[in-house]
Amino acid sequence: MSAAPGRPAERVGDPALDVVIVSYRCRELLRGCLDALRAHPPHVGMSVIVVDNDSADGSAEMVRSEYPEVQLEASDRNLGFAAGTNRGARAGRAPLLLALNPDTAVTSGALDTALDAFSGRPEVAVVGPRLLRPDGTLDHASKRSFPTPLSALGHFTGIGRRRGARGALAAYRAPEVESGPVDAVNGAFMLMRREAFEQAGGFDEGYWMYMEDLDLCYRLVRKGWVTWYEPAATVIHVKSGTTGGARSPRLNWAFHRGMYRFYRRHYAPGRSPLVNAAVYVGVAVKLACAVAHSALSRSLARLRQRRRSVEARGGGTPSTSEDG
């Protein structure tokens, strides 16, 4: 097989693309992801590697029995996203590498369109597509600018997420970029040159989950590489499909620890101790608020489920004493 212009050449019989999917307790989402890859393969050779993080929900057994063409790497513990993807990458050798979340589904032509973004652009290391939620709305995490304290404030307060928002408070979502070079794309779908991925040392395994995609893009930019947003490639993304709606305390900790780690490694050395202290306090306060909000959301969800169960049995609405 000859390589397309701008794509690394591969030996005859070797895949041009390794797809690495890290799964954890999401069997049905993983099945949908693998089915989409089967239905919409690229025109180049592709291998698929699933790293199962000790799901214990039948995911590994499903891959073995239903997808014999898929290489399964079964871990005996939850490695997290960064370490799991690195393990999957080491299991392949194709010149192009796709880190793909199991709660995604590629659409017809998406892989080829994303691959074509490398054509004639040797400086591009990472390509990300337009991510759509199942209802057809845009997942604004498809493209991002590197965060600043102001853009993070705008993002997390919701000011920067309003329709038509522009300026420093909205910069986190890179609203000015329609397509082309962007600071970062989302780890749900990161198509990468293996050369660049390995040059950067892969994902930083100090991030268990969250922020590792932003961190990798940042380190690649510092090495002279470019990240490219290609909206002509469309991928469906079930937002938080593998983690559920409300984050658990562990996931909340991982998310905010990722924020802290990113700032401490990349921004703090060039800023004053006073500014750094203010940022760290802000991260801690946001963590506390997020944990409380998630706990409340889970409690309300349990209450709604209890009410539905009682109503289904014909018992009417539970009393206040029952709710307690």
Would you list the DSSP string of 92-141?
---SEEEEE-TTEEEPTTHHHHHHHTTTT-TTEEEEEEEEE-TTS-B-GG
Confidence of residue 5 (pLDDT cuts 50, 70, 90): very low
- CB atoms closer than 10 angstroms to residue 300: 11
Q: Under a CB-based contact definition with an 8 Å cutoff, are residues 84 and 51 in contact? A: yes
pLDDT at 47: 97
Confidence of residue 245 (pLDDT cuts 50, 70, 90): low
Q: Read off the pLDDT of residues 188-230 as tens digits, 9 standing for 90 and up.
A: 999 999 999 999 999 999 998 889 999 999 999 999 999 999 9
Give the chain's mean pLDDT.
86
pLDDT at 244: 52
HSE, CB side, 13 Å, CA atoms: give it for residue 131.
22
- CB atoms closer than 10 angstroms to residue 8: 14
pTM (predicted TM-score) = 0.82
Angle at 64 between CA 61 and CA 67, to 5 degrees: 125
What are residue 21's phi and psi, to 5 degrees?
-120, 120
Mean pLDDT of 130-151: 89
Could you give the CA distance from residue 89 to residue 262 in angstroms, rounded to a whole number?
Answer: 23
Q: Give the range among 18-32, 114-128, 287-301 with minimum mean pLDDT.
A: 287-301
Instruction: Report the Cα–Cα distance between both ends of the chain, in Å, rounded.
Output: 66
Q: Read off the pLDDT of residues 248-290 as tens digits, 9 standing for 90 and up.
A: 888 887 888 888 899 999 999 999 999 989 888 988 888 888 7
Q: Under a CB-based contact definition with an 8 Å cutoff, are residues 154 and 148 in contact? A: no
